[in-house]
Structures are given as structure tokens and as C-alpha cells.
Structure 1
Amino acid sequence: MYDESDPVAYGVVVERGRGSLPFALLHGEPLVACAAWAMGETGVHLLDLTTPWDAVREAAMPLVWHDALCPMTPPDFLAACVRRAVADGVAVAGVLAVTDTVKELVDGPDVPMVGDTHDRDGLRRLASPLVVPADVVAELDDWPSTNFRAALAGLRRRHDVALVTAPAAARRVRTPEDLAVLEALTRR
């Protein structure tokens, strides 16, 4: 949770490009509202994507990029990511370990075939948030992409990014089935 000694940051809950799913209900509330409340509990000052980028850059504050499709990311984790980004001067991305079996698809003589199993120990699934320290924000020409993979890739080309293991509740919702799993996982 927010502590008065925590760094002040701006943040955005990204729902663009995600269809209607950010407005589906989780525990009776829209996903986007759940994500916004978590950000509020961290003390992050919420902005929207209509805020002029120059104003964001000139504020010289870290920027928290939170995905509405990761609505139950705990406020404590969001705050820890902000603290890490500020303390270490690196962008921080919340990730989850890959637990599924990952197989290679190879060309067969007539049809594709299942090949080798990949070692999943080094694989991570992007969750939320993506926190950009103020000095990195100052170098960006515009808002990061609303596609978290593209935003992360863009940052990694020019800056150090720390991948931080997120709690299971930070999992991304892609389908109504994922929503049911997240609701069961986070039921109080």
C-alpha cells in the first residue's frame, strides 16, 4: 500500500485496443475500475491518454503503465515496482513465470509437427505494471505503446529493464474463461 515516503508517480490504466473486456465485471466491478482503484491505493496520480505528452515529460515523475486486463494486480506490488524503478533508475516490468508446457512447431513433410519441448525456466509472461523512471520518461518522444509487448520492446532497445515476478493475482485476462479463473483466484 501507499506510504507517504513512497515516490510520487503519474500513471495510466490502459484500456485502449482491448475491446470490451476491460468493461467486463469482476467481483461486480468493471476490470478498468479495479485496476484504477489499485493504482489509487498506491498513491499514483492517474492521467489519461489525452494528457499532452510534453506535460507528462516536464513533470519529471515516474510513469506507471498499468493494463486494465491485469485488474487484480495488488497495490503493494504496484508500489514496490515504482520504488524499484526510482531506486535503481531502471524501467520495471511485472512478469509471471510460464507454467504451461511449451513445444516447438516444426515443418513436417506434409503438415507442421510438434517438436522439442522448450525449457520454461527462462520464459516469462508479461503482466503489469510497466514503470518508467522519470529520466527515461524525459527521453521518450511520446506515450509508450498501449500494446505492452511493444512498449516493453521499445524500452529494452534503449534502456535497462528489470523483470520483476508478479503475484498470481496479477495475471492477464484474455477471455471470459480467464476472467472466471481470476475471479476464483481473488475471491475473498
Structure 2
Amino acid sequence: MEDDDLLALGVVVERDRGSLPFTLIHGESLVACAAWAMGEAGIRLLDLSTPWEAVREAGLSLVWHDALCPMTPPDFLAACARRALTDGVVTAGVHPVTDTVKEVIETLGGPMVGATHDRDELRHLASPLVLPPAVVAALEDWPSSDLREALASVASKHRVVWVDAPPSARRVRDADDVLALAAITRR
């Protein structure tokens, strides 16, 4: 890839996720699938040993891609990176919440079911999380390897745009989730 084709810098985060990122899907590890998607999207991969100052000096967006969302399509990663760069906003891939979510209220007589939360206000964080150049420049160091923590650390100071992720970008939590993801991404 030529530097002129470079869309952003990126990291596939597998830290603090146990051995699950090295589970196979379609014959390859989850982390390898996520890394290949980043390369196909025009995102230059870095690792977390890269000095933060070098990342900041590059003047590019930073794509934070979770190895536990291994089948996120390259075109979706690229679209999120373009949106962050063009609009200057933090961009986060999300899935809608489809379950009914109830509040539980603790009372003297024990827990009681309370109000139902509006599903339109809830979302599951998927991947990627893209930080535009201005946000990267404002950070002192690498964001947390936990995407929720990384998002929370920038959301209080910067505008966040939620982008509906495709079904193939779902997060896996265990081997059963990997089997389900393999089934929906079988070619």
C-alpha cells in the first residue's frame, strides 16, 4: 500500500482478552482476521509498543479495532475511518439493543422490577472506535485497551457518532459465539 492510499493508523486490540483472540474462525485466528480487514481497509497497523508521540505526530486518525469483532468488513472499517476524518468526530460501530431492558429497584422487601428502558437510547458497542486526528493530538497516551473505557474517556470531551455495524461485526464472548459468527459469515 502506498502512503497516498493510507486512510488511518490502527491497532487490533487483543490485550486483556485471554486466549479467545487466538481461537480459529474459518481456519484463521480471530486476531489475524481482524488485522487483515484493517489492511484491506487501507489502515496501517501499529502495535501498542509504538511510541505515542509518533502516533500523534503522524496527524492521522486512529482506528481502535477489537480482535473480538474479527469479521468486521473492511468497507465498514474504512467508512468509519473516513467519517471520523471528514467530520472530525469520534466514530463508534454499534449494534442496536433488541432485548427488553428493565430497571431493578432495591426495596426493603427485596428487588422489584421497575421502568423499561427505551431501546432506541441503548446500543451495544461493536468495533471499530475511530479517533479523528484532533482527538489523537489531544491525548497524552494510548487509550485503554477496553473499547468501552476508551470511548468513555473521549466521549465527555468530543462528539461521538454512532454508526450501525453490520451483523458480521458482532462481538464474540466465547467459543459458542465464534461458532455462531462462523455460521453467519460462511461464504
State if a TM-score over 0.5 links the two structures: yes
Shift of 1:118: 2.0
Shift of 1:5: 7.9
Q: Deviations over 1:52-87 (max 9, x none)?
A: 001111111111100000001111100000110111
Partner of 1:102: 101
1:35, 1:139 → 2: CA distance? 27
Task: Give the alignment's Cα RMSD to 1 decimal.
Answer: 1.7
Partner of 2:25: 26
Aligned-partner residue type, residue 64 of structure 2: W
Shift of 1:108: 4.2
Secondary structure of 2:70's counterpart equals: coil
Aligned-partner residue type, residue 85 of structure 2: V
Q: Is the 8 A contact 1:23 1:30 kept in 2?
A: yes
Aligned-partner residue type, residue 76 of structure 1: D
Q: Does 1:116 align with 2:115?
A: yes
Percent of aligned pairs sharing the same letter = 66
Secondary structure of 2:60's counterpart equals: coil
Q: Which runs of 5+ in 2 are unaligned?
A: none
Number of aligned residue pairs: 186
Q: Which runs of 5+ in 1 are unaligned?
A: none
The 3 A distance-change label for structure 1 pair 7 and 92 is: farther
Shift of 1:183: 1.0
The 3 A distance-change label for structure 1 pair 110 and 28 is: farther
Partner of 1:163: 162
Q: Is the 8 A contact 1:106 1:113 kept in 2?
A: yes
Aligned-partner residue type, residue 57 of structure 1: R
Shift of 1:8: 2.4
Q: Is the 8 A contact 1:7 1:82 kept in 2?
A: no
Q: Is the 8 A contact 1:7 1:86 kept in 2?
A: no
Secondary structure of 2:161's counterpart equals: strand
Aligned-partner residue type, residue 176 of structure 2: E
Aligned-partner residue type, residue 148 of structure 1: L
Q: Is the 8 A contact 2:91 2:129 kept in 1?
A: yes
Partner of 2:179: 180
Q: Deviations over 1:25-56 (max 9, x none)?
A: 11111100000010010111100000000111
